[in-house]
A and B are shown apart, each in its own frame.
Chain A
């Protein structure tokens, strides 16, 4: 949908050849492929994943035509492998005609079972994805090969993309791009393999072949889905050559015309009254906060096919909007209130890396509003976000910024406030007389993305979610804890002050945190900082390191040593791990903990921070040592002995 709204098709013209898909076929007498012993241990192995994209022009109408052929052969070795590949979903989004769909199974004994085409089902209007053809593969057993081959004619968009990597190994992946005498562009991401110029049925083509693509694996602090090997392409109508700049200009003009108002819709006046309550001397910051809180408390952003959800009059009346329509609402309010703004078009970095150098509409997925004077972002369709930094799933991606004069530029979306997301936690620990239990009194202040999440969970969750969250906020990982008191301050999602902390005050008690060891007591002090993540790395790290967002923790733990006792084993409380910037030598992430003894008090201070959102993959071990330092501290225990 976004695509149609964002992009006005640039027009087409001539030429004719027979299409390659007509002669392309699977092998007449298929045989099982040999796989290695290691490959046999996997749930499934891609033997072949081939995509053919062919652009051509129809002789009489001179329209651009596009055909796409998908051909896969997949070995399935076990129940899970079968489950992953025995159901096929073919999206009909943008498909004009289905030319052919066929599938077959070759079992371990070489028996072939052909898909009965009557069993292909059509499913209409699925969630936000449009129509599908679906079918289940017939005759699959363990150690079978599943082969699927289909061709569709697409609405001739000038661009497309295809992901070549998957979450299982692929032995051969091919992307064949047939454009003949049409001008075109193609680009591959995250592979060293190069396109080769080939001729397919007399037509100029490009072929990318990659052997042995490893399975993309899940890793912490990474965006694996967005890091897969992929291809993007553009093909232009006969005789035309469109530059990236022309594409971007087209988007800017189109979006600008639709959203940035020349004159304000008169219906917004009443809302402005409600928003400002007649106050005339509001600062820009106050204005944008009031507008954002108003929109989020009165409008619902909806995903469906109702085109009116992008019509300003309709949206203002019904208070329901598309993610596109809601931008018009903000634009009109801001124009009335004389607030300068820029529109930002970008993408979720976990699914797509925005590329300013190669235009495809697929990456224009998310909208933000940027207020240059305040260096702050608004996330119009995100009910949990308020004026501040960009949402964490966008942070670090590039965006297209469009100002009110239709000027544009690209910029990486970065956090402007380096200390946006912090946790301050003070814990005061006392023991009862016989060391049966410990009481932890905590005061915690969360800011930035932490506070946004906390407020959202408490405001939007089910009872079960709220229950789990309460556990998380009060010493997670202390199994037998009893929550004696717990309160939250500043929990409302609508705040007017910039980055106001979300505060919790709690008292918990635990017996299991103390261990009676004959003549002494072991106190698992590390558990006080809560369960910490541990980065495992048995295999070589694949994905670049990306944090969820930059953040900082400052903890102070005060242990009140009971009379008549001394405390030992404090060395494990001193930890100092860091990762220094190559250029400045400054620590950009670290975990530091130390202690001091003051009378009957043991005072531990911890500072952990991650100033940057991205870290050098080559220095992964250093990064890991910082992350794991917190997990080390979590294991620390100290010993109380009678004097």
Chain B
């Protein structure tokens, strides 16, 4: 078989034309597709308790023998669900035989983020898969809590010929639903009522495959899907809300918060008093408490039934010195309020969840908890899980998201976490360069603030592994070339949350100065940040995600070596639009050449339609980076 990607692209164009002409889509280039993925949710109500089951029926075909690993199937469940009546088999059209799955195991997995979880999986392998094989899987999922109906994806990582969700329910139950990312596919909706039972059915045919991209948003931003939920039910003439809107979601959250263990809070109060007693202002007190939690409570997460939703008691978290997001959020809440600072437990979805509370009034909307303090009219979001974020800034991954503040047992407030400004996350770089024996000798100091600091420290702690500092800097900053040697590395204010991180070192860079005849070609752009960020417009399907906005300022001073004179200095260059840009200028003063460079990114996302503009920016920047100074012997 010859794989020719251009050829495939050409074929793809052809397919589009063909389907335009009314034929159904052809997936013959694929290795594995779903023929169908159907889910049928059945909701019953006995007195006031729900009986909910979801019947799942899937059929998949192996169009080649390349990816037989798809035979490994896994269905996860936890204390809110159970998996029953699994019927799975492989059909072999060549011999017209069915071979049943006869061995299913229940397994657990260790997860890096969650230390202990009650999630388990039913795992099995479809037998006899090979080219042409069709696998069939049917099972029942029992949903034990009416808040968790889940979501259904019309598209998944490989194409699906027929995707269908249906939900049947008696007339005393009211169901809500909302779909996402469906504008490019056609979803057929049907409503049927017979006797007392209503059924909603959504069907989408021939959806393509959707896979995540490394520099993209989470799949939920583009995969077509639908969320269904129980709004309310009627019992003996009265209407009871389940998740009619965000009010009900909050009511449920408040009922869980009521169950927090409030024993021994005196212990917590004592710590709060001790660390704030000498501080005059509320702001300083809040900052001290936040830093204490950042420094002293280690992140360890347990997800165990409703325990995954109810914060552990603040005193116990203090004793154990560990907790997850909700434990830290509740601890901050207790400590702050105790010293007289208005603070609220706050639910929030990270940027991975593209929903608002008004769209999705279900637990699907959020996955995180923080604390919100109001000090002198200013709203401050405090995320204890982010050990290095400065006081006053939210964790980067909660920007743009709606925060649900629990005011009291019945009242809540929604506030959107603002995007932090590029001026809050700054890297200032001061560089002095000398040339000695054709070597580049550099003295550099970097000051990192805001998310620039958080990002560097996180990489330093978790990506450095057992690499030496030199090697770590060489691979992360990538200054000069990979022959750059780093000396006298110093770091300051690593743990000091208030001041910028100060990083200083000396560099010698070999093979960097180009000497031809009497000329030296000198390039001052040893830091080529963003030069690898060009988007491949043809291959990249979805918006580009940016973790935080930032500004980088460089001042680079080159001392012209004895006996040389500058025969060429590059012209000033710039690119600017409201979201990103750069400016580079050169000035000559005495025996030095000074380069000023400013780069900023002031957006959290580059939309697909803006890829051309982004690439223009990057290409212009790369072009500017490659401009050299020429020094000539006098």
Interface residues of chain A, those whose CB is within 8 Å of chain B, are 79-80, 82-83, 86-87, 89, 113, 121, 123-127, 134, 136, 138-142, 167, 215-218, 296-298, 300, 302, 304-306, 308, 317-320, 383, 458-460, 462-464, 467, 470, 479-480, 485-493, 511-512, 515-519, 522, 532, 534, 536, 538-539, 568-569, 572, 628, 631-632, 634-635, 637, 639
Contacts and interface: CB of A to CB of B under 8 A. Distances in A.
B288 interface: no
Nearest to B100: A318
Given A218-B466, A512-B622, A635-B512, A298 B130 contact: yes
Contacts of B130: 297-298, 319
Contacts of A124: 106, 108
B44 interface: no
B467 interface: yes
B466 A300 contact: no
Contact of B296 (A134, A141, A519, A628): A141
Given A80-B462, A480-B619, A488-B4, A86 B534 contact: no
Interface in B458-512: 461-462, 465-468, 470-471, 474, 481-483, 511-512
Contacts of A138: 319-322
Given A139-B321, A512-B531, 8 more contacts: A127-B110, A138-B320, A302-B72, A480-B534, A492-B1, A512-B623, A536-B471, A538-B468
B105 A304 contact: yes
Range, interface on chain B: 35 or more
B630 interface: yes
Which label, helix, strand, loop or mixed, suits the secondary structure of the B interface? Answer: loop
A86 B462 contact: no
A459 B66 contact: yes
25 contacts: A80-B462, A83-B299, A86-B298, A87-B300, A113-B319, A113-B320, A127-B107, A136-B322, A217-B467, A218-B467, A302-B72, A318-B99, A318-B127, A462-B211, A463-B211, A479-B532, A487-B7, A488-B5, A489-B2, A492-B1, A515-B626, A518-B568, A518-B630, A568-B517, A569-B515
Nearest to B300: A136
Nearest to B512: A635
Contacts of A127: 107-110
Contacts of B481: 634-635
B69 interface: yes
Contact of B108 (A123, A218, A463, A632): A123
Which label, helix, strand, loop or mixed, suits the secondary structure of the A interface? Answer: mixed
A317 B474 CA distance: 54
A296 B68 CA distance: 9
Nearest to B99: A318
Contacts of B298: 79, 82-83, 86, 140
Contact of A300 (B107, B125, B212): B125
Nearest to A494: B65
Contacts of B125: 300, 302, 304, 320
Interface string B592-621: 000000000000000000000000001100
A459 B67 contact: yes
Contacts of B21: none
A463 B219 CA distance: 13
Nearest to A113: B319
A300 B129 CA distance: 8
Contacts of A141: 296, 321
B397 interface: no
B320 to A, nearest CB: 4
B240 interface: no
Contacts, number: 213
Contacts of A489: 2
B258 to A, nearest CB: 24
Nearest to A224: B466
Contacts of B2: 487-491
B20 interface: no
B220 interface: no
Given A218-B465, A317-B99, A639-B516, A522 B296 contact: no
Contact of A479 (B65, B512, B534): B534
B115 interface: yes
Contacts of B539: 467, 470
Contacts of B4: 487-488
Given A83-B298, A305-B105, A511 B623 contact: yes
Interface centre among B125, B129, B465, B517 (most CB of A within 10 A): B125
B430 interface: no
A479 B468 contact: no
A592 B547 CA distance: 44
Interface string B102-128: 110111111000011000000101111
Contact of A86 (B1, B123, B300, B515): B300
B214 interface: yes
B320 A136 contact: yes
Nearest to A316: B128
A319 B123 contact: no
Interface string B527-543: 00001101010010000
A464 B69 CA distance: 18
B474 to A, nearest CB: 7
Contacts of A534: 482-483
A555 to B, nearest CB: 19
A222 to B, nearest CB: 12
B339 interface: no
Given A463-B211, A464-B211, A464-B213, A479 B69 contact: no
B567 A306 contact: no
A508 B475 CA distance: 26
B103 A140 contact: no
Contact of A320 (B127, B483, B512): B127
B46 interface: no
B627 interface: yes
Contacts of A518: 567-568, 630
B131 interface: yes
A79 B6 contact: no
A103 to B, nearest CB: 12
B116 A467 contact: no
A125 B127 contact: no
